């Protein structure tokens, strides 16, 4: 006779157990926890988890072996002059050294409690439990990857805001300079036509002479939406990539004479743009290599800035004059929505760890093990490397 299958709910299972126990059932009170333990033992355990990717892993740098503070020293190009055999020795000026300081963030931790009394019920073998525990520990690494991705984006966003600050002289008080934040922009042709000795003002540099306003680093290329605008985007990026290959001072806030070869550059672009490029332009290209961007491309969801209150509060912390330049609403909209790509040297952000260790605390009474990963960080943004902001317009 064929066996009849029966689906056991909790009430049916409880009654079966009571019937089997007979008189002993007087002192036995089945609970859901007890029943679920039994069901776990005779059932199967399924673990579903996906890997996490840090899309900005090229910004990861060394682990600092000693200390946590970074000093960045940049030597500009030297001067070529006519040789004078009769010139006096030891009369040279000190080399112009530009330096920036970067400090560590506070130490952080990620905790993972493993309750073996709960988990052992779900596995029939020590090997299964050990394998599952290893997968749980992987979540520490995945959590850290997700955090580092957000931290690097935030560092880049703060740099964009800081570099947008400019200074102008107060007309009513000569010799006094006022600060504002710029949300202007220029065309690709206007950016490329800037002289190689031009310095784009940022981070409070004064406007005057060969130093021009910060908005000249914001280049307008219409957001790709069809084949014509996709082709225009590719052409514009290629023009800027070509321009950055030659020695110039306009590419970085320090005004240091720099070159950036295509292998040094990465195009950070917001999600949603590459599918348009792939379908509208690259897919129909006869020679994709000639039509390509010529640099590494990384898709991100944002640059750490949004058109929200958190970004507006961040903007308010920047030392600027009330009513000078764009207000926080326009700045948040510009950098949170209108800016959609950044063409930059890969060294613009460096994420360095100052601490990296995992501790294990075993609580025998609670049958619990607590894994705690401790890490410290120093995030550095360089003012000496080239980058260009790509925007769909200006405010």
**What is the chain's pLDDT, residue by residue, as a tens digit (395 residues)?**
444 555 556 566 666 666 655 555 566 565 655 555 554 444 455 555 566 778 888 778 777 767 777 777 776 666 776 766 666 555 555 555 566 656 667 789 999 888 776 666 666 666 776 777 777 788 888 899 999 999 999 999 999 998 888 877 777 888 777 888 888 999 999 999 999 989 887 776 766 657 788 889 999 999 998 888 988 999 999 999 999 999 999 999 888 888 999 999 999 999 988 888 877 765 555 444 444 678 889 999 999 999 999 999 988 888 777 666 788 899 999 999 999 999 999 999 988 888 888 888 888 777 788 889 999 888 888 888 999 999 998 88
The reply to whether 277 falls in a domain is yes
The reply to whether 194 falls in a domain is yes
Structural domains in the chain (count): 1
Are 156 and 301 in contact by the 8 Å Cβ rule? The answer is no
The domain in which residue 200 lies consists of 149-304+338-364+378-391
The CA-based dihedral angle spanning residues 113, 116, 121, 123, taken in that order and rounded to the nearest 10 degrees: 90
The reply to whether 86 falls in a domain is no
Q: How many CB atoms lie within 10 A of CB 27?
A: 7
The reply to whether 76 falls in a domain is no
pTM of this structure: 0.78
CB within 8 Å of 16: residues ≥ 6 apart: 8
The reply to whether 138 falls in a domain is no
The reply to whether 124 falls in a domain is no
The reply to whether 332 falls in a domain is no
Phi, psi values for residue 153, rounded to 5°: -65, -45
How far is Cα 155 from Cα 248, in angstroms, rounded to an integer?
A: 25
Burial of 132 by CB count in 10 Å (0-12 exposed, 13-18 middle, 19+ buried)? middle
The reply to whether 143 falls in a domain is no
**Radius of gyration over every alpha carbon of the chain, rounded to an integer in angstroms:** 30
């Amino acid at each position: 006779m064929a066996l009849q299958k029966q689906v056991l709910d909790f009430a049916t299972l409880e009654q079966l157990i009571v019937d089997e126990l007979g008189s002993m059932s007087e002192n036995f009170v089945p609970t859901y926890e007890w029943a679920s333990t039994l069901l776990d033992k005779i059932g199967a355990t399924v673990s579903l988890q996906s890997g996490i990717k840090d899309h900005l892993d090229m910004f990861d740098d060394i682990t600092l072996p000693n200390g946590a503070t970074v000093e960045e020293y940049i030597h500009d190009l030297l001067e070529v002059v006519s040789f004078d055999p009769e010139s006096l020795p030891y009369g040279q000026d000190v080399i112009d050294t530009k330096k920036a300081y970067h400090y560590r963030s506070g130490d952080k931790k990620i905790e993972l409690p493993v309750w073996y009394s709960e988990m052992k019920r779900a596995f029939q073998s020590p090997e299964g439990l050990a394998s599952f525990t290893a997968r749980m520990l992987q979540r520490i690494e995945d959590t850290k990857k997700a955090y580092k991705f957000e931290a690097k984006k935030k560092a880049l966003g703060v740099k964009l805001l800081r570099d947008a600050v400019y200074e102008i002289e107060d007309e009513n008080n000569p010799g006094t300079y006022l600060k504002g934040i710029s949300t202007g922009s220029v065309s690709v042709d206007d950016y490329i036509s800037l002289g190689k000795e031009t310095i784009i003002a940022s981070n409070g540099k004064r406007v005057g002479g060969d130093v021009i306003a910060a908005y000249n680093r914001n280049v307008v290329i219409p957001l790709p939406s069809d084949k014509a605008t996709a082709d225009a985007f590719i052409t514009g990026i290629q023009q800027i990539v070509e321009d950055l290959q030659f020695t110039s001072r306009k590419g970085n806030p320090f005004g240091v004479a720099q070159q950036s070869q295509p292998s040094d550059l990465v195009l950070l672009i917001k999600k949603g743009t590459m599918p348009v490029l792939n379908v509208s332009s690259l897919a129909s290209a006869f020679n994709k290599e000639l039509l390509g961007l010529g640099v590494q491309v990384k898709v991100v969801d944002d640059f750490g800035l949004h058109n929200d209150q958190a970004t507006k509060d961040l903007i308010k912390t920047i030392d600027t004059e009330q009513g000078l330049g764009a207000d926080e609403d326009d700045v948040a909209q510009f950098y949170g929505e209108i800016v959609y790509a950044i063409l930059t040297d890969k060294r613009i952000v460096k994420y360095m760890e100052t601490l990296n260790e995992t501790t294990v605390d075993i609580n025998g009474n609670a049958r619990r093990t607590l894994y705690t990963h401790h890490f410290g960080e120093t995030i550095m943004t360089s003012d000496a490397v080239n980058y260009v902001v790509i925007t769909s317009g200006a405010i």
